[in-house]
Each structure stands twice: as C-alpha cells, then as structure tokens.
Structure 1
Amino acid sequence: MELTLPRLRFPRPLEQGDRIGVTAPSSGVQPEMQARFEVAVRSLRDRGYEVVLGACLGTDGVVSAPKEQRAAELTAMLADPSIRAVVPPWGGELAIDVLDRIGWAELADAEPTWLVGYSDMTTVLLPVTLRLGWATLHGANLMDSPYAAPDGLLHWTEVASGPGPFTQSSPGRYRSTGWDDYVGDPGVDTLRLDAPGTWRVVGDEPVDVTGRLVGGCIDVLGPVAATPYGDVRSFGRQHAAEGLVVYLEACEDSAYSIARVLHSMRYAGWFEHANAVLVGRTSAPDARDLTQTGAVVDALGDLGVPLVLDVECGHVAPYLPLVNGALARVVVDGDRREITQMLA
C-alpha cells in the first residue's frame, strides 16, 4: 500500500554556537577508540559548536545499549529544539532494530533537526526523510569529522550550514588502503588519497540531469526497501515533476548479494522516477563471474537512465556529503564531474 508522505522540510542552517548531539543508534565506541572519539568531539568544538554527549555511546557488544534506550535517546535529541544536529560516532550493524521504537508521532510535530551519518545510519536517515519529510545528511559520521575535506568536496558541517547552492566535484583520487589507524594515530585529520580515479558513466555518454536526492548503503537498505520505512516509490511519486537522483553504495556484500538487492529495490519501485543512479566506489568483493559493476549493470542497466559509477558517496574515502531531499544537478561531461545541491 502506498503511503501518503509529509511535505519535504529542511532543518535550519547550522550556525556556530549551535548544539550538536552525539548518540549511537547502532554501534558504540570501544575503549580502544576513546582517544579518537575525543579528538572527533574536539574537532566540532573547534568549529564553534557545543557538543552534547548522550548516554548511548559505550559498548562491549554489537550495539551501544538496548534498542529501547537507543531509540528513546535518538528521539529525545531529535525532538529537542536546542539541538540542531545529531551525529553518531559511526555506523554498525543493527540500527534496523530501533525503527519501530522511534517516537515517530512525537517527531512529526517537531522542528526538523539535521540527522547526519552514513553506513548503518542510512537505515535511520532514509525513514526520517520518508516518514517525517525531514532532509537528512549522508556522508560522514563523527569519527570522520576531524578530516579536512579534500579539494572539490565540502565538510558535512558546511553543507548543513546554508541553503546552497553547493557545488562539489570529484577530487580525482581516492584511498585504496582501507581505514586509518585510529588507535595508533587518533589525531589523524588528513585523508591520504593514494590512487587516481574519478566518476565513470556506463556507456560513456555525457550526463546532465536533475532530481531529488535519495539513497544510502545497499547492504542495510535492502532489508527495508519494500517496507513502510523504505517507501521510495511513494517519495518518487510525490516528486514526480522533478524526478529522483538515487545514490547507492555497497559496503561489504558480495556482487551476487548486491545484484539481488538491487533487483529487489527495483521491484519495490525505487527507480520508477529516477533520472539517474549514482553508485559509490566500493571495495566490496567481486564474485568469480560477476563484478560489483556487473551487479549494477545486471540489475539497472536497462532502466534507460544514466548510471554514474565510482562516486565518492560510500565507504571508500573521500566522503561526498549528500542531502536526502536536496534538489541536485549532476554533470559528467569531459573533465567535468560535479554535483550541485540546493536545500530547498
């Protein structure tokens, strides 16, 4: 059954002096990561924000606290008019278990607050946009916040700080060596981009399209794609006049799994109003006879819309902040690789 979605609303631009809440709706901070956590908190304070720490942060297991406590703290921070943004330490594995515990009715009457994150947090970001109509910010977690944005990209706090237009372009380089050592070097704030690479278009045709942004991590959105928490079909129909730019990225699932989930998303109507699909660069494994690119082409290659690959919107650094609900223009032509977002 198609849902009636609320109108799209954008949180007030983030300003210096605003309060940013930190809670972990999924995984918390292990003791050995405490030093990096403190560096990350300090980096936001150094940018002029007041940081409010929640109780759901520590963990000895897969989640930071019981799901009821995690959902209640997230709801309270999002409903608190003095908190202008909420960001988790990082993603995790089981954010899906808070979805039926979040106070959706309470938040429906609240002023929109920026909810920031990626990876497992997209399990929460997407429903907040679809069910509440709040724009949400995909692209970085708290632990990524100390990094300076490389040339061409913006820090997430910059994107949350105004209506735009914000134009970002591919730096043309990425990190091929996995994660930095937060234990040995908790203060690292420069992304080491050691490999050349930029956006590719399936079919190599120029691209110039617009649409409302929506998307996230395939691995965790697949399980909610055909539920009321992932009703992108209704969101697309709501914004049919503008169309959608759907962005997706694979974290660690195999090419077989990614192909199956993309087909499932297609059956659930995710691409009915897509004007383009952006696919993040990934280090997820290929299969013996199917690459990650092949998985995308198998599921989406006959949609009749541009498929733009190796966009900086996933688990491979650097990180391109994208706003669910923003009106975006994507251009890939010659040496031009850019996306412009308007928060309106």
Structure 2
Amino acid sequence: MIKRPEYIKPGDTIGVTAPSFGPSIEPYSLMYPLSKENIESRGYKVIAGETVFKSDGLGISTDPKVTGKELMDFYKREDINAIISAGGGELMCETISNMDFDELKAYKPKWFIGYSDNTNFIFPLVTITGVQGIYGPCINGYAKKWEETEFDSFALLEGTKSSFDGYKRFVNPELEGPGPEVYTDEYLRAPYAFNDDRELIIYKNNGGELTRSAEKVEMKGILLGGCLDILVNLCGTKFDRMKDFVKENGDIIWVLEACDLTPMSIRRSLWNLREAGWFDSAAGFVFGRPETSWKQNMMGVDQYNAVTDILAPLGKEIIMDAEIGHIDPMLPVVMGAEAKISADNVNLNISYI
C-alpha cells in the first residue's frame, strides 16, 4: 500500500528547500517573494531552508551533502506539514546520493511537490519509501496570477478535489515571443499567455498494433513516472527498485514527459526502461508535451514514433501531448495514487480512487 500524506490546511507550515537549483538569480529571485506572498495570503506559513538562496554549488544550489541533509531534515520535522521544492535543475541526482529513502519510512508521510529534476526525489519516495508525491509546480510557479494549475496543485495538497480535467489551451513554444529585457512585477504576476488549442493524440491497441484514433480511451492503475530524462538516469542504480515494485503493485499507468531529450534520446530512453522490465505491468501511458523535442524530427524520428515504435509491443493505449511537464500549463499529478484516466482528442480527466 502506497501511503497518502495527510492533507494540509490554512495555519499549517510549508517548507521550501532547494535540493536541485534555487531562486538565487533573476527572474527566480524576483518570483520567490511573490510566490510566498500568494501562498501566505491563502493562510499558510512559509519557511525557507538555508539552501534556497545559495548558489555556490556546481550546477546545483550548494554542496549536495547539504542539500540532501536539508531535504531529509525538512521531511522529518514535525513543524513542517508539506514541502515545495525551490526549483528544478540538473544535478539533484547528487542530492539523493546523500539521502536514505528507507529511513524515511519511519517518519510520518508528508506531501512533497515539484517537477522536472525533482523526479529524483518523487520517484524513489513512491517506489522505495512507499509515499505518494505530487508532480507539479515548484515554488516560483505560484508567483503569477493563479489559474487552474496553481489552484489544482493546492486542491491536491488540501484534498478538496478528486477529479481533475485537463486544460484545453496552452503556450505553444513555436508561437511564443521573446521574454522581456527587464522583469517587472507586472510581467511576473501575469497569467499564462495561451496562444494555441491543445489536441491530444490517442493511440489505441488494435490486435497488437498501435493506431491513431479519435475514440475515447480509458485506463486504471497506479500513476508513476515523471521526467524521462531523470528516470533513465536512475535505472540500474541503487534507487531502482522497480522489479519489486512491479511485482507488488499491479497495473501501473506511466505518466511521462521529457525536458532536454531529443526524439532519438526519448526513443533510446524508452527502450532502456522497457528492456529493464519497468513497463512489464503497464496499464497504459500518458505523455506530456516534450520541451526540446516539440515538433522536432531527427532522421525520421519524431516525438510520436519515438514513443509508439518502442511501446507498441506492450499493446497498451497511449495518450500523447497531455498538459504535463515543461510546456505551460501543467496539470499536477499524484504519483503513487490509484486513478482512472479517460481521454479523447479534446478531453482529459484524471479521477483519483
């Protein structure tokens, strides 16, 4: 049984720590106080760890021994009710080398929310510690005027909703203009600059072959995944307990997205995880819009066949271009939770059981 942490409520304390990179440079340093203000106006106390404003590490906020200790300490502290990561980044893998996920089993489960590089913590939190975690916005995501992403993130933290619909408009990188020369509060508080309608790409299993479809698909299972860039890096390490997890937990809906991976890298990564047995109990797949690979083609390999050609032998349905991950807006997801997912080309719903 994967444990669900207690929901938080106004008056509780949210800890912010930087196990990857923190808001030490613009625009993130300007966004943090706005995020803190927005969350405190909702009735919460916000405390920041010493790592949050450090930038003396190489590719990380500070020494990974320090970041690992602070995240462990924050998780253990009884006066912190939930943790929001200060940011994503590149080298949180070095942070978790200084953590003990088995030790965390002895402590009260606590909500942790973050995405991208924070897959390094959320994935073993689920698969080793046996506690659910939220793949959603890091602290600076709450600086803007709150819309569905931010309200839905706190609905998960507070337990006020169990069914979440996807978001039908998004910020298409191909249509997005350049950022400002100077960051202002007005710019940082602005809502998402939606510029396109989202279309979900559905692949159904027809006699062992995947074919693109306009029909509705449904799947049920335990949600698991995160950033593919990170997951393939964890595969084969001491943080890879997937053989046992697959045996113990039945059907898994893999919720995946990619940041820096090219179409070729996505294809290789999925091959790696498939051959390692991670997908042996897959009940289906949901892929977010990939940031670097969005609408890219490398020698005939694109964001779609990079996925379908590798996963076709599994005979499971696939939902692609969902609003999960690096291309705004982001639908937050509870990893480790049992859920039903339904989708067609224009609708997406995740309902937690």
Q: Structure 1 length normalisation: TM-score?
A: 0.90
Q: Which residue of 1 aligns with 2:2?
A: 8
Q: Which residue of 1 aligns with 2:279?
A: 271
| Structure 2 counterpart of 1:42, one-letter code | E
Q: RMSD of the TM alignment (CA)?
A: 2.2
1:211 aligns with 2:211: no
Query: Structure 1: how far apart are the matches of 2:189 and 2:200?
Result: 27
Query: Structure 2: how far apart are the matches of 1:127 and 1:221?
Result: 10
Question: How many Å apart are 1:228 and its aligned residue?
Answer: 3.7
Change in Cα spacing, 1:38 to 1:251, as seen in structure 2 (3 Å) is same
1:18 aligns with 2:19: no
CA shift digits 1:12-37 (9 cap, x unpaired): 00111111111100112233332111
Question: How many Å apart are 1:164 and its aligned residue?
Answer: 4.4
Question: How many Å apart are 1:237 and its aligned residue?
Answer: 2.1
SS of the residue 2:277 aligns to? coil
SS of the residue 1:83 aligns to? coil
Change in Cα spacing, 1:141 to 1:179, as seen in structure 2 (3 Å) is farther
Change in Cα spacing, 1:306 to 1:329, as seen in structure 2 (3 Å) is same
Structural mapping, 1:136-215, within 5 Å:
136-148=133-145, 150=147, 154-162=151-159, 164-176=161-173, 177=176, 184-186=183-185, 187-202=188-203, 203-204=212-213, 205-215=215-225
Q: Which residue of 2 aligns with 1:229?
A: 239
Q: Which residue of 2 aligns with 1:306?
A: 317
Query: Structure 2: how far apart are the matches of 1:38 and 1:296?
Result: 40
Kindly indicate whether the alpha-carbon contact (under 8 Å) linking 1:170 and 1:199 is maintained by their aligned counterparts in 2: no
- Equivalent in 264, 268, 288 of residue 260 of structure 1: 268
Kindly indicate whether the alpha-carbon contact (under 8 Å) linking 1:78 and 1:113 is maintained by their aligned counterparts in 2: yes
Query: Structure 1: how far apart are the matches of 2:65 and 2:258?
Result: 28
CA shift digits 1:168-207 (9 cap, x unpaired): 2232434432896596134324111111123210221421
CA shift digits 1:134-172 (9 cap, x unpaired): 100002111112345645984311111117422222324
Query: Structure 1: how far apart are the matches of 2:25 and 2:344?
Result: 47
Kindly indicate whether the alpha-carbon contact (under 8 Å) linking 1:25 and 1:95 is maintained by their aligned counterparts in 2: yes
Question: How many Å apart are 1:275 and its aligned residue?
Answer: 1.0
Question: How many Å apart are 1:261 and its aligned residue?
Answer: 0.6
Query: Structure 1: how far apart are the matches of 2:182 and 2:252?
Result: 40
- Equivalent in 8, 17, 28 of residue 22 of structure 2: 28
Change in Cα spacing, 1:311 to 1:232, as seen in structure 2 (3 Å) is farther
Q: Structure 2 length normalisation: TM-score?
A: 0.88
Query: Structure 2: how far apart are the matches of 1:313 and 1:70?
Result: 26
Change in Cα spacing, 1:183 to 1:63, as seen in structure 2 (3 Å) is farther
Q: Which residue of 1 aligns with 2:37?
A: 42
Change in Cα spacing, 1:270 to 1:197, as seen in structure 2 (3 Å) is same
CA shift digits 1:112-155 (9 cap, x unpaired): 11111001011111011111111000021111123456459843
Q: Which residue of 2 aligns with 1:93?
A: 90
Change in Cα spacing, 1:142 to 1:96, as seen in structure 2 (3 Å) is same
SS of the residue 1:298 aligns to? helix
% identical aligned pairs: 27
Query: Structure 2: how far apart are the matches of 1:245 and 1:53?
Result: 34
Change in Cα spacing, 1:304 to 1:154, as seen in structure 2 (3 Å) is farther
| Structure 2 counterpart of 1:110, one-letter code | Y
Kindly indicate whether the alpha-carbon contact (under 8 Å) linking 1:208 and 1:332 is maintained by their aligned counterparts in 2: yes
Question: How many Å apart are 1:211 and its aligned residue?
Answer: 0.6
Q: Show structure 1 runs of 5+ residues with no match.
A: 1-6
Q: Which residue of 1 aligns with 2:292?
A: 284
- Equivalent in 62, 66, 71 of residue 69 of structure 1: 66
Change in Cα spacing, 1:51 to 1:178, as seen in structure 2 (3 Å) is farther
- How many aligned positions are there? 334
Query: Structure 1: how far apart are the matches of 2:196 and 2:153?
Result: 23
SS of the residue 1:216 aligns to? strand
Q: Show structure 2 runs of 5+ residues with no match.
A: 204-211
Query: Structure 1: how far apart are the matches of 2:316 and 2:168?
Result: 24
Query: Structure 1: how far apart are the matches of 2:311 and 2:4?
Result: 30
Query: Structure 1: how far apart are the matches of 2:73 and 2:292?
Result: 35
**25-34 or 160-169, which deviates more:** 160-169
CA shift digits 1:250-294 (9 cap, x unpaired): 102111111101101111222111111000012323323211112
Change in Cα spacing, 1:178 to 1:262, as seen in structure 2 (3 Å) is farther
